[in-house]
Chain A
Amino acid sequence: AQSVTQLGSHVSVSEGALVLLRCNYSSSVPPYLFWYVQYPNQGLQLLLKYTSAATLVKGINGFEAEFKKSETSFHLTKPSAHMSDAAEYFCAVAEGGYSTLTFGKGTMLLVSP
């Protein structure tokens, strides 16, 4: 069975600082991994995805994530936080790429001026 663990329900950074949101997964087969962002009272927007190609994946809004099989991790980073990045971020895994998504519990990113 697949599962996702997001370390830290809240992460606080200053504007301009590095953003690091952690995600670890478990999967019995090579996984497909996703990061989604959710703004208040809205649906989820796909930030980026890993689908067994390049291990370093670049997404929208300057975010990127690196797939590390040995660490079963898919951490999300952004070099410089912007106030508009404040939102809830969800990591998700799909075994084999075509099954249902399993979401982590989410990490709320808080950005202070």
Chain B
Amino acid sequence: GAVVSQHPSWVICKSGTSVKIECRSLDFQATTMFWYRQFPKQSLMLMATSNEGSKATYEQGVEKDKFLINHASLTLSTLTVTSAHPEDSSFYICSAKAGGVPEQFFGPGTRLTVL
């Protein structure tokens, strides 16, 4: 149980284009989903928290107009990197949490490379 998937697992795009990453909770309803960014050999940096049907809450320093988050259902959240630039290249990981439990379950991550 508690499986979270991400799609795509890796993506290469040209500078200036937009990329959408999907995060799905496969066997539970995720009242809250989180998006993280991880640089090589570093820890996870929380980008934003989203609750189903509400606007995402972004961490300080994260551009909400650049990283668009949608949490339209209890099993799906999407992160869209708009007008991507090489500095946006990173490993993006989502996690999902059901109501009433403290732990987060993580997706396998998406490697984004912007050329």
Partners in one complex: yes
Q: Is there contact, CB below 8 Å, between B102 and A43?
A: no
Q: Is there contact, CB below 8 Å, between B46 and A42?
A: no
Most buried by A among B6, B44, B46, B106: B44
Asked whether any CB of chain A lies closer than 8 Å to the CB of B104, the reply is yes
Asked whether any CB of chain A lies closer than 8 Å to the CB of B78, the reply is no
Q: Which of A42, A51, A94, A100 contacts B108 (CB 8 A)?
A: A42
Asked whether any CB of chain A lies closer than 8 Å to the CB of B111, the reply is yes
Q: Is there contact, CB below 8 Å, between B109 and A45?
A: no
**Residues of B in contact with A (beta carbons under 8 Å apart):** 4, 6, 34, 42-44, 46, 49, 91, 93, 95, 102-109, 111
**Residues of A in contact with B (beta carbons under 8 Å apart):** 32, 34, 36, 41-46, 49, 51, 90, 94, 97-98, 100-101, 103-106
- Known contacts A32-B103, A42-B108, A43-B107; 15 additional CB pairs below 8 A are A41-B91, A43-B6, A43-B95, A43-B108, A43-B109, A44-B93, A51-B102, A97-B102, A100-B34, A100-B46, A101-B46, A101-B104, A103-B43, A103-B44, A105-B43
